[in-house]
C-alpha cells in the first residue's frame, strides 16, 4: 500500500465520524502534536479576536447610518501614528472580521436574521431613519431615492454588533484554554473539545441585545423580549456561514454568471474554513491570509518553535498556521456539535439515543465534504 493509500485509509468516514461524536471522542486525532498546535493557535486567535470584538462593538456603537465609515477601524482612538500604521499594514487586519460579518449577513441563517423581518425590528428601523432624516439632508435624499438602503445598512450594523458580542465570548474562551493548558488542566485534544463545549453551553443562554441612540432617543434594535441568545442565534449561524458556507474570494474563482464557477444555491456553498486548502496567497484581497498574518504576529513561542522543525520552518509559517488553524476549527465545530446534542450521551432512553444519533449523523454528513484529511 502506498503512502497516499495509507493516508486515505486513515481518513475517518461517515460511520467513524458518527461513532466519535456519540462516544464523546474528538474528531481530530488525539496526539501531542495536535494538542500543541490547537491550543497555541487558538491562543493566538483569541488575542486577535479580542481586537476584532472591540472594533465590531465600537462600530455598532458609533457607525449607525454612516455612509462613509472611513474611521471605523480606529476604535482605540485616532492619531497620526495609528494612521501611518494603518496605511502601511502594521496593524490588525479588521478586513477578515468584515468578511466573516458579510458571510453571516449574506447567508442569513438563524433566529437573528428571522427577527430582522419582524414588525418590531422594521418599526425600530423606520423610527431611526425618520429621526436621522430630520437632521441629515443627505440621508433624507438617499432614503427617498433608495428606500431599501437605510434598513439594509441597519441590519448589517446589527450583525456587526452581534458578531462582536460573539467574539468577546470566544476570545475569553480561547485565552482561558491556553491558561488551563499551561497549568496542566488541558492535557489532550478531547480536553480542548470539552473546554469549548462547556464554554459554549455556559454562554448559550446569554442574551443578544442591541440598543442605539438617535436624535436623543434610545431605540432597541434587538430588545430583550426578542429572546435572542448567544448559542442558537449567533454561534450556530456563525459556524454555518463561516466554517461551512463562506464566500468565494475575489481572484480565485470567476464571478461571471456565464462561467458557472459559483453555485446559484447558497446552501451548497463550500468555501468555509473547514473546506479551505491551506495555501494562503498573502494577497490583500484574500481575507484568511490577513487572519493568518494577524495570528503570525501574535504567535506563542511554543508553536513558533514547533514550526521551526516542521514543514519548511519559518519560510512557510503562514501555511503551517493555516493548517493548525483548520485543525482548531474542527475542534470548535466538534465542541459546538457536542454542546447542541439534544440529550446527554449516557442517556438510556431509546428515543433520546435516537435523537442524538440523528443529530450526530446530520453533522457528520455535512463534515464528509470537508478536508477530513486534516483530522489524521
Contact in structure between 157 and 132 (CB atoms under 8 Å): no
pLDDT of residue 5: 56
Domain count across the chain:
1
Predicted confidence band of residue 311 (pLDDT cuts 50, 70, 90): confident
Residue 286: pLDDT above 80? no
pLDDT of residue 6: 52
Q: Each residue of 340-373: pLDDT tens digit?
A: 999 999 999 999 999 999 999 999 999 998 999 9
pLDDT of residue 242: 93
CA distance 132 to 185: 52
Helix 287-296 × helix 317-339 angle, to 10°: 100
Q: Each residue of 39-48: pLDDT tens digit?
A: 999 999 999 9
What percent of the chain is predicted at pLDDT more than 90?
78
> Closest Cα to residue 41, out of 335, 338, 339, 318?
318
Distance of CA 170 to the CA centre of its chain: 9
Four-CA torsion 52, 55, 58, 63, nearest 10 degrees? -110
Coil, strand or helix: which one is 174?
helix
Q: In which region does residue 227 sit, left (phi positive, over 0), alpha (psi from -120 to 50) or beta (all else)?
A: left
* Half-sphere exposure at residue 91, Cβ-oriented, CA atoms within 13 angstroms: 19
CA distance 230 to 222: 13
Q: Quick check: pTM over 0.85? A: yes
What is the domain extent for residue 251?
3-375
pLDDT of residue 314: 80
Contact in structure between 316 and 14 (CB atoms under 8 Å): no
Residue 262 CB coordination number (10 Å)? 16
Coil, strand or helix: which one is 188?
coil
Predicted confidence band of residue 67 (pLDDT cuts 50, 70, 90): confident
Residue 170 CB coordination number (10 Å)? 23
Q: Each residue of 134-160: pLDDT tens digit?
A: 999 999 999 999 999 999 999 999 999
CA distance 7 to 29: 13
- Going by C-beta distance under 8 Å and a sequence separation of 6 or more, which residues neighbour residue 3? none
Rg (CA), the chain: 22
What percent of the chain is predicted at pLDDT more than 70?
95
Grid coordinates of 108 = 442569513
Distance of CA 285 to the CA centre of its chain: 18
Coil, strand or helix: which one is 250?
strand
Residue 280: pLDDT above 70? no
Residue 279: pLDDT above 90? no
DSSP 219: E
What's the mean per-residue pLDDT of the chain?
Answer: 92
State mean pLDDT over 10-39.
97
Q: What is the DSSP string of 111-159?
A: HHHHHTTSHHHHHHHHHHHHHHHHH-HHHHHHHHH-TTHHHHHHHHHHH
Least confident of 14-28, 40-54, 231-245, 271-285: 271-285
Coil, strand or helix: which one is 218?
strand
For the chain, report the end-to-end CA distance as a whole number of angstroms.
Answer: 17
Contact in structure between 364 and 370 (CB atoms under 8 Å): no
DSSP E strand boundaries for the chain: 210-214, 217-222
CA distance 189 to 338: 14
Q: Each residue of 191-220: pLDDT tens digit?
A: 999 999 999 999 999 999 999 999 999 999
pLDDT of residue 351: 97
Amino acid at each position: 500500500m502506498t503512502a497516499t493509500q495509507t493516508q486515505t485509509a486513515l481518513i475517518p468516514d461517515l460511520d467513524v465520524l458518527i461513532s466519535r461524536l456519540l462516544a464523546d471522542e474528538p474528531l481530530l486525532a488525539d496526539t501531542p502534536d495536535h494538542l500543541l498546535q490547537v491550543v497555541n493557535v487558538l491562543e493566538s486567535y483569541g488575542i486577535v479576536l479580542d481586537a476584532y470584538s472591540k472594533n465590531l462593538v465600537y462600530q455598532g456603537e458609533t457607525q449607525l447610518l454612516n455612509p462613509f465609515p472611513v474611521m471605523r477601524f480606529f476604535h482605540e482612538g485616532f492619531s497620526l501614528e495609528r494612521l501611518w500604521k494603518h496605511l502601511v499594514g502594521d496593524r490588525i487586519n479588521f478586513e477578515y472580521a468584515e468578511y466573516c460579518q458579510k458571510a453571516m449577513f449574506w447567508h442569513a441563517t438563524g433566529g437573528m436574521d428571522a427577527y430582522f423581518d419582524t414588525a418590531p425590528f422594521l418599526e425600530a428601523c423606520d423610527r431611526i431613519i425618520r429621526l436621522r432624516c430630520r437632521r441629515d439632508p443627505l440621508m433624507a435624499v438617499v432614503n427617498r431615492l433608495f428606500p431599501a438602503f437605510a434598513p439594509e445598512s441597519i441590519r448589517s450594523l446589527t450583525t456587526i454588533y452581534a458578531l462582536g458580542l460573539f467574539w468577546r465570548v470566544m476570545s475569553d474562551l480561547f485565552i482561558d484554554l491556553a491558561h488551563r493548558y499551561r497549568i496542566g488542566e488541558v492535557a489532550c485534544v478531547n480536553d480542548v473539545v470539552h473546554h469549548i463545549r462547556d464554554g459554549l453551553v455556559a454562554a448559550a443562554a446569554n442574551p443578544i441585545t442591541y440598543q442605539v441612540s438617535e436624535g436623543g432617543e434610545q431605540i432597541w434594535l434587538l430588545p430583550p423580549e426578542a429572546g435572542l441568545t448567544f448559542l442558537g442565534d449567533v454561534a450556530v449561524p456563525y459556524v454555518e456561514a463561516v466554517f461551512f458556507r463562506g464566500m468565494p474570494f475575489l481572484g480565485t474563482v470567476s464571478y461571471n454568471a456565464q462561467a458557472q464557477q459559483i453555485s446559484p444555491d447558497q446552501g451548497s456553498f463550500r468555501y468555509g474554513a473547514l473546506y479551505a486548502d491551506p495555501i494562503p496567497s498573502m494577497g490583500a484581497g484574500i481575507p484568511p491570509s490577513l487572519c493568518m498574518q494577524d495570528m503570525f504576529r501574535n504567535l506563542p513561542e511554543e508553536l513558533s518553535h514547533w514550526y521551526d522543525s516542521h514543514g519548511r520552518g519559518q519560510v512557510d509559517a503562514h501555511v503551517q498556521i493555516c493548517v493548525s488553524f483548520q485543525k482548531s476549527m474542527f475542534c470548535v465545530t466538534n465542541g459546538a456539535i457536542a454542546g447542541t446534542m439534544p440529550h446527554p450521551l449516557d442517556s438510556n432512553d431509546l428515543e433520546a439515543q435516537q435523537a442524538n444519533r440523528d443529530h450526530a449523523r446530520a453533522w457528520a454528513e455535512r463534515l464528509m465534504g470537508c478536508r477530513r484529511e486534516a483530522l489524521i
